[in-house]
Structure 1
Amino acid sequence: MEKSRYVPVHLLQVGNYVRLPLSWKDHPFLFSSFKLKAAAQIEMLKKLGINELYVDLDRSDTPPLTEAPTTPPVAETEQDLTQLQAHMAQCKKERIEIQQRMRRELQKTESHFSRSLARMRNLVGKLQKRPLNAIDEAKELIADITQELLASDNLVLHLMSDQEKGHDLYFHSLNITVLSMLLAKELQWGNSEIQAVGLGALLHDIGKLKLPSQILRKQTPFTKPEQNLYNHHPILSHNFLKLVPDFPVIAAEVVINHHEHLDGSGTPRGLNAEQLSDAAQLVAVVNYYDTLCHPNRQYPAKTPYAALSYLYKHSKGKFNQGYVAKMIKMLGIYPPGSIVELSSGQFGLVMSVNLQNILLPSILIYDPLVPKEQAPIVELESEELRIERCVTPAALPDNIYKYLNPRERISYYFGHRE
């Protein structure tokens, strides 16, 4: 069955999904592929000098005409078309300015993320030889993040670029820190509690530095002795902190208890809900979400969308349900990093979510006629688009996969809306 074909412009109908044979900068439409919604758009295509174009029949509401209509549609006057074209061009200009603003926000956040990551690397490098200096630097980093976090309520959570290979500890720890502090803020915890949660999250995995490298690099399931040794890493992390006078109790509890479950099935000590602080329960939720988003020795990575769904369905009894619900509400149904198909039929990568309006994220759109580095980033609200479904990266055609560049590691950082 025919799925697409080139069609003369005079045989187009409203409801046809078309792809323009022009560079994105050479037409007034926002996208180079879209569904025709009005007869005036067809007249506009004629005015642009297009004789025929590609119609995707699968995405069309109706097939093109097979012959020219005997009663031609009421033609727009030249003045009407000129005014429409000018209006569309102005709208496109405004959309481009919005996209440029979003790119600036993203670049600024990437810069903050890179600086925090460099500080994380530096303090981890000092932990073995100068632990007191390292902890002081950790406290300074958390204080700076807290100041930024509390500076505004108009926060945007952005998807960051892929990690450098071999640096999981830095990216994982910083990601858990950012999400945990954001979640604590959403729960309206106080400044000191947010800082304590952040400090504990930042240092929660430092005990892994004492594990044999072959354990950390292993790609196949652990043997029972290896699993027991790995399960011991929160205690190793906590042992680092015993050298630090007056280390915050809340942060220390996060470090040693971030793998414990409410029903006593966690590790390393099998504690239950009554023995776990609110901060430790919160970081346990965030840590599990991050783990689900990345491949391990037994399971492939889940998409952020699927990870949240799995967490919701399988967390009862193990994790604090109030914190699970709050994190789902914070990240939205389609968290940054999700690959989605839109109502326009286009594929996109969720790049950002405004924490004040999580149902309408910003999405980088696949458009084969736009260079990858200039790919449009649109806000669903302003474009009147909706998400139809989430898609696994493996299901994408190779050209779309390379264009959207789904992240192997999901890392987040927050910024402020301009």
Structure 2
Amino acid sequence: MASIKLSVERLTEGLYIKLPLQWTDHPFLLNHFKIKDQQQIRLIKNLGVKYVFLIPEKSDVEPRSPESQSEAISEQESQFLDRQAEKLWQEKQGRITRLKNYKRKLQRCEKSFGRSMAQLRSIVGKIKSRPVTAIKEAELLVEEMVEALLEADNVALHLMNDGKENEDVYFHSLNVAIISMMLARSCGMSQEEIKNIALGALFHDMGKLKVPTAITRKATPLTEPEENYLKLHTKYSLDLANLADDFPEAAKPILYQHHEMLDGSGYPKQLKGDQIDIKAQLVAVVNAYDNLCHPQDHNKARIPYSALSYLFKNKRKQYNNDHLGLLIKLMGVYPPGSVVQLSNKQLGLVISVNSESLLYPNVLLYDPSVPSNEAPIIDLEENNLRIEQAIPPHKLPEQVHTYLNPRIRISYYFDPDD
């Protein structure tokens, strides 16, 4: 939007302005905002700036005329303004401290995610030649993840870094396991049930290792024979699990039934309703969500918001509605990875969501006056902002896309909110 250089003497309530300062050089939360009262005007003047940038399209009024006289400020008013400025500075320092702590938490989460990915790669590498060893290692991985999941009352789901394209099977399996575990927790399932769901989810697509990569990585529509070959992966996953005597029986239906649908339109047995194991029903919903976000043809990928909306509007007859509703509550109306426009017209990237505040996730803001590695992450509810719409990343201007860096591969991990 076009901006106009405006003397601070012409400021009035209702103008939308941008400060000519770095984010760390003033006490306001954002570099640009709509002026709401005379106190803000006086605080701006106390910053020592001679001008600001006016954005007319977002302003409610015209600036004051150049001839109008500014009111004198009494000593008492000046002291009050100083106290208010100090209060704002303290609040902002608190926000900066929380932001640093939040980013440290994200770094811990990234490390945990990286360790889990490395373990999963090792497990997959052994699944054919040493299935017993692979399954024992998978059980240890699941044990660690379940302990992390259950050790706090409130667990946040975070957006992770991109994965490599040739590692889709790892990221998909870990994604489905992570979200399925959190969904099982939301359902009130026991620790043992959560472990079985996590193990089944980790191995649900391992049968694809026995399907030619020309099929599993084909971006164009599969032929009918290719489609039938791909559908065999549910059988192959179960075959791999059966190579180890101690693979939990309770987890096996997940391997074989995660593509069954409640209306009987799924495969391999066209099971209906209660014929499908409840744990397989849960993983099926999560599997469908992640597949919508990451199809083989990346041009058909849906943004997280659109994927959830599609499942809710079009697939309620095929998937367990309780699980689908809880998935939406868990992921939030705007899941991590969503590019959004806020009520102040600012753009941002949702990086984490808490199930207690579905409409108010944590958003990394696009602000070209702040370096991208220092971009503020804000809690929308705390800042009286709301999301107006989700935006497909390909529709972003290039500079915004580069700054926010929306992921092609959206992966998640949790961290106890301690």
SS of the residue aligned with 1:271?
Answer: coil
Counterpart residue number, 2:225:
225
Contact 2:332 2:354 survives alignment (8 Å): no
Counterpart residue number, 1:392:
392
Normalising to structure 1: TM-score of the pair? Answer: 0.95
Contact 1:157 1:355 survives alignment (8 Å): no
Which structure 2 residues correspond to residues 197-236 of structure 1 after superposition, within 5 A?
A: 197-236=197-236
Q: By how many angstroms is 1:148 displaced? A: 1.2
| Superimposed CA distance per residue, residues 42-64 of structure 1 (whole angstroms, 9 cap, x where no aligned partner) | 22222222222222222223333
Counterpart residue number, 2:29:
30
SS of the residue aligned with 1:382?
Answer: coil
Counterpart residue number, 2:19:
20
Letter in 1 for 2:9: H
Which structure 2 residues correspond to residues 189-200 of structure 1 after superposition, within 5 A?
A: 189-200=189-200
Counterpart residue number, 1:341:
341
> For residues 62 and 293 of structure 1, do their structure 2 counterparts lie closer, same or farther at Cα, with a shift above 3 Å needed?
farther
> For residues 68 and 310 of structure 1, do their structure 2 counterparts lie closer, same or farther at Cα, with a shift above 3 Å needed?
farther
Contact 2:234 2:257 survives alignment (8 Å): yes
Q: By how many angstroms is 1:344 displaced? A: 2.2
| Superimposed CA distance per residue, residues 130-172 of structure 1 (whole angstroms, 9 cap, x where no aligned partner) | 0110011111111111111111111111111111231001110
Counterpart residue number, 2:321:
321
SS of the residue aligned with 1:359?
Answer: coil
Partners of 2:295 and 2:196 lie apart in 1 by: 29
Counterpart residue number, 1:107:
107
Normalising to structure 2: TM-score of the pair? Answer: 0.95
Taking only the aligned residue pairs, the percentage that are identical comes to: 44
Counterpart residue number, 2:278:
278
SS of the residue aligned with 1:388?
Answer: strand
Contact 1:105 1:416 survives alignment (8 Å): no
Counterpart residue number, 1:5:
4
Instruction: Tell me whether 174-183 or 390-399 shows the greater mean CA deviation.
Output: 390-399
Counterpart residue number, 1:247:
247
Which structure 2 residues correspond to residues 18-417 of structure 1 after superposition, within 5 A?
A: 18-69=17-68, 72-73=70-71, 75=73, 77-297=77-297, 300-417=300-417
SS of the residue aligned with 1:163?
Answer: coil
Contact 2:152 2:417 survives alignment (8 Å): no
- Number of residue-to-residue matches in the alignment: 416
SS of the residue aligned with 1:158?
Answer: strand
| Superimposed CA distance per residue, residues 96-123 of structure 1 (whole angstroms, 9 cap, x where no aligned partner) | 0111111111111111111111100000
| Superimposed CA distance per residue, residues 185-210 of structure 1 (whole angstroms, 9 cap, x where no aligned partner) | 10001111111111100000101111
RMSD over aligned CA atoms reads 1.7
Instruction: Tell me whether 153-162 or 50-59 shows the greater mean CA deviation.
Output: 50-59
Partners of 1:47 and 1:101 lie apart in 2 by: 30
Partners of 1:3 and 1:23 lie apart in 2 by: 20
| Superimposed CA distance per residue, residues 210-244 of structure 1 (whole angstroms, 9 cap, x where no aligned partner) | 11121122121111111111122111111111211
Partners of 1:31 and 1:151 lie apart in 2 by: 36
| Superimposed CA distance per residue, residues 4-46 of structure 1 (whole angstroms, 9 cap, x where no aligned partner) | 3222222222222211111122222121122211222122222
Partners of 2:62 and 2:210 lie apart in 1 by: 65
Partners of 2:54 and 2:295 lie apart in 1 by: 39
Partners of 1:131 and 1:68 lie apart in 2 by: 83
Partners of 1:303 and 1:66 lie apart in 2 by: 47
